[in-house]
Every structure is written in C-alpha cells, then in structure tokens.
Chain A
C-alpha cells in the first residue's frame, strides 16, 4: 500500500515568509508525528497527533510553528515569519496507534525547506 507522502519535496522561501508543509499518513494510522532534521543530526521531535488533537507539542521551537490535523488524516505544519535557522528537512511519520510499547513509526520522504 501507499506509504507516508509529503508535499512539497522541496521548498525555497525568503526570510519572513509563511510556509505550509503537508503530510498524508498511511491510511488508517491514527498517530502522526512531525520531526525536523538538520544536516548531520538525527531527527528532532516537533509534535505528535493522536487523531485530530495534538497530544504533545513540546518540540515546537516557538510560536511561529503550528500544526493542524482537522480530520484526523492529513496534517499541515505551518511556519510563520520564517528564519534562516528554520532551514532543515521536515519529516512526517505515522503509526497505527501510539503508546509506550511497540508501534513502528513509518517516515515519509520529507520536505527540504530552505530559507534564504
């Protein structure tokens, strides 16, 4: 079946602009995660959705970052007033459920964001 998809694959924007990054999880997966990966680093957690609600947004760096998942499927990560430091690969992952046990997170191909 189809995996996690993300659009766009690449986004170049200017400092101060607003961007939206989209994630389409695997069908039926209730849990959705956003991570950010800078060059040479591991992915860094941003936010986790269980259904429509953000169960943990502790990784969002500041109030310029916001994410929604209004119907419990597709999610959009929104970044306002972008800064050069926001440049990174934004990864989305989904899993059938969530919990402290065994659910595997499946990653999408990522969106490479470059802020000039």
Chain B
C-alpha cells in the first residue's frame, strides 16, 4: 500500500466549476500536509499547506484535513484553464524522518473552456 494515495484521475472540469482533489495517507504520525502544483516539464510549486484539522482557505483554494480519517483534500473554486496541471499531495513523515516529504502519484487536472 502506498503511503500517500491520490485519486489518479485524470480529472476534467469546465471553466468556472469546482475541482475536488483527494488524498489519503497511511502514516498516522504525519503532521503536515502540502499540495503542490506541477505544470508539465516544470518543478513542483507549493500552493497550500495545512497542519490542523479543518479547512484552510487561500483565495480560490481550500485545503481540508481530517486526521481521524487520514484524509486531505484540495478544492479549487472558479477553476481556470491556467489551473490545468498535475496536483501532488505530500505528507511530512512522522518519527525522526523530519526532512522527508512523501508524495502521492499526482492527479492530472484539466480545466476546459
């Protein structure tokens, strides 16, 4: 079982719609969670981080964390074609591996006009 799993997609939504990206993790010791956006051929770029249960909003993006269910999600409101990219969910491993980010395989999002 992968430590961080994402709905593999691809996910296609019309412009202006809400895109919902989901992620589950297996390590209960994970304390911090991150969503990275990666355009084709480019490096990952951090768009959201979340550390506490509940919702965190930043502009059109909302991250949700439920540690009891070991579930993280990212909602993108008013999706734009420029949001089309691969979205990577990552968790900070627990224990002594403080430096290690564990990534999911990514979800490809396409926003069509």
A97 to B97, CA, bound (A): 14
Query: A14 at interface (Cβ–Cβ under 8 A)?
Result: no
Instruction: Tell me whether B43 is interfacial, beta carbon within 8 Å.
Output: yes
| Any A CB within 8 A of the CB of B92 | yes
From B32, B90, B100, give the contact of A48 (CB < 8 A). Answer: B100
B51 engages A33 (CB within 8 Å): no
A99 in contact (CB, < 8 A): yes
Chain B residue at minimal CB-CB distance from A89: B43
The answer on a CB contact under 8 Å between A110 and B92 is: no
Q: Identify the stretch in A51-59, A65-73, A78-86 within 8 Å (CB) of chain B at 4 or more residues.
A: A51-59
Give the number of residue pairs across the A-B interface with Cβ within 8 Å: 67
Q: Does A105 contact B101, Cβ atoms closer than 8 Å?
A: yes
Question: How many positions in chain A have a CB within 8 Å of any CB in the partner chain?
Answer: 28
Contacting residues, chain B, for A25 (C-beta < 8 A)? none
Residue B62 lies at the interface, judged by CB distance under 8 Å to chain A: no
Cross-chain contact of A42 among B45, B94, B99, B104 (Cβ < 8 A): B104
| B interface majority secondary structure | loop
CB-defined contacts of B105 to chain A, threshold 8 Å: 40-42
The answer, yes or no, to whether A62 is at the interface (CB within 8 Å) is: no
Is B99 in contact with A55, judged by CB distance below 8 angstroms? yes
Indicate if the CB atoms of A42 and B88 lie closer than 8 Å. Answer: yes
Decide: B43 and A41 in contact? CB cutoff 8 A: no
Chain B residue nearest to A106 in the complex (CB): B46
Contact partner of B103 (CB less than 8 A), chosen from A40, A44, A58, A98, is A44
26 A-B pairs, CB-CB below 8 angstroms?
A: A33-B101, A40-B105, A41-B105, A41-B106, A42-B4, A42-B88, A42-B104, A42-B105, A42-B106, A43-B88, A45-B102, A48-B99, A48-B100, A56-B99, A56-B100, A58-B100, A59-B100, A91-B44, A99-B98, A100-B32, A100-B92, A100-B98, A101-B51, A102-B32, A108-B43, A110-B43
- A residues at B contact (CB < 8 Å): 31, 33, 35, 40-45, 48, 50, 55-56, 58-59, 91, 98-102, 104-110
